[in-house]
Amino acid sequence: MKVLILSVSAGGGHGHAAEALKDYINLKFPESEIKIIDTLKYINPIIDKVVIGSYLKTLKVTPSLYGKLYNHSEGDYGIANTISAKFNEIMTYKLMPLIDELSPNILISTHPFTTEMVSIMKAKYNLTIPAISIITDYYSHGSWLHPYIDAHVVSNKDMVEDMVSKGIPRNTIHDLGIPVKPNFIEKYKKEETLKELDLCTSKFTILVMGGSLGMGKITDVYQELIKVNKDIQIIVITGKNEKLHNELLMLKETSTKPTKIIGFTDTVNKYMQASDLLLTKPGGLTITEALICKIPLGIFSPIPGQEEKNAEFLLNHNLAINLSDTNKCQQTIENLLEFKDKLTVMKANCSKFSKPDSGYKIVELIEYLIKSNNVTGLKNFDKDYYKDNNLKTFFKSVEEYFMKTAIKIFANN
């Protein structure tokens, strides 16, 4: 089996989903050839730096701007949608030689950009390779939805009707969940983990985290938690955010609540399984991991746009409490601990939406699509045309135009 997985390194979830799928495919088909492409970086490292750098800068400096772009791009005629479509149409031509060279049996996309690129390639170049889109959020934003995609894998059943209403054929939508790496399913003993951290095995344990980048108002949340009038202990995972790590170490010195500060870790599941409540940003992968570990959530600092939609899903299904107003965090946590029956219900609800076998089921879907596809390859791709020097010059000028435009847009906001 030859598999090409297209992703983009904007946040950790898209790449993690790609790596997880690679592991599951290898488990069932160890002789497979699997290639994961960080697509923007492959097409042009400078464009990747501008786009991803601008994305991260916008989230940090003016998140409301990102939210507006997200909302405006929901419709078919949004300006952001139009720019994205034109950009992706031009950039897809840089992927065609790669696909021609690898001749994969299937294409898998874990990012909206690459899903749109695959859709364009299938339409424009009559690409016959089956394609799967892994939607790594809990809401079906229009940027994920494109024609000619053979299978859309979604995280929850709520998305199905919404996608059908937006024109996606029902038989292409599969409620299989977001894949996590196989070792995430490994079980740890809560008591042993807490002892390793020099924490009490019987106290109510709250885990705080903000993804691999340690984003969100984690310091504010921690300052509220140490004022809680209940017997609690705290674990904070700061990811790669060294500034946050140092700030919390200083705050910990005067805290009356037992606290363990952890930097970047690849065993998040170990700490989730040792905790009674998770306070976090509502990223798609983090939600998926929490549901698998059956740990109720408290959500804060959602990224405007997709994470706000993720938060709506959690709150609508009583899987989380809302901590968006961090000033009320102390009161909200105290109220929750006063009525622990609510925690019990939330934990039970997590079980209903947990999909720990997602990776295995997606591999079954991959196998089915490959077997159902009798012809693979490109029917409308001229290698010699691509080699033409004038054409290369044209695409280079287009790349330069988009880079300059992106720099101007984000420099002024």
Give the DSSP per-residue string, 42-85.
Answer: HH-HHHHHHHHHHHHHHHHH-HHHHHHHHHHTTSTT-HHHHHHH
Dihedral angle, C-alpha 292, 296, 300, 302, nearest 10 °: 30
In this structure, what CATH number is given to the domain that contains residue 139?
A: 3.40.50.2000
- pLDDT, tens digit (0-9, with 9 covering 90-100), for 317-342: 999 999 999 899 999 999 999 988 99
Both 8 and 129 in a single domain?
A: yes
Residue 57's contacts (CB-CB under 8 Å, 6 or more residues apart) are 410
Kindly tell me if the per-residue pLDDT of 94 is higher than 60: yes
Residue pair 80/73 in contact by the 8 Å Cβ criterion: yes
Both 140 and 207 in a single domain?
A: no
Q: What is the pLDDT of residue 383?
A: 52
375 is in which domain, residue-wise?
2-180+357-411
Both 209 and 83 in a single domain?
A: no
- pLDDT, tens digit (0-9, with 9 covering 90-100), for 354-401: 999 999 999 999 999 999 986 544 444 455 544 544 445 545 555 555
Both 277 and 402 in a single domain?
A: no
Does 174 or 121 have the greater pLDDT score? 174
**Which residue among 303, 321, 353 closes a domain?**
353
Q: For residue 259, what are its two tokens?
A: 């606290």
**Residue recorded with tokens 């950039």:** 91
Q: What is the pLDDT of residue 354?
A: 97
E strands in 263-376: 277-280, 297-299, 320-322
Q: For residue 212, what are its two tokens?
A: 């691999």
Of the candidates 164, 271, 386, the one whose C-alpha atom is nearest the C-alpha of residue 261 is: 271
Q: What is the pLDDT of residue 78?
A: 41
Kindly tell me if the per-residue pLDDT of 10 is higher than 50: yes
Torsion angles phi and psi, residue 209, rounded to 5 = -155, 160
DSSP H helix total and E strand total for the chain: 19, 12
52 pLDDT band, cuts 50/70/90, is: low
Q: What is the pLDDT of residue 40?
A: 84
Both 230 and 95 in a single domain?
A: no
Beta strand 33-38 pairing with 2-7:
parallel
- pLDDT, tens digit (0-9, with 9 covering 90-100), for 156-214: 999 999 999 999 999 999 999 999 999 999 999 999 999 999 999 999 999 999 865 55
Does 59 or 331 have the greater pLDDT score? 331
Both 149 and 75 in a single domain?
A: yes
Domain count, the chain: 2
**Which residue among 353, 373, 394 closes a domain?**
353
pTM for this predicted structure: 0.84
What are the CA-CA distances from residue 29 to residues 17, 197, 277 (Å)? Answer: 18, 39, 37
The arithmetic mean of pLDDT across residues 59-83, rounded, is 48
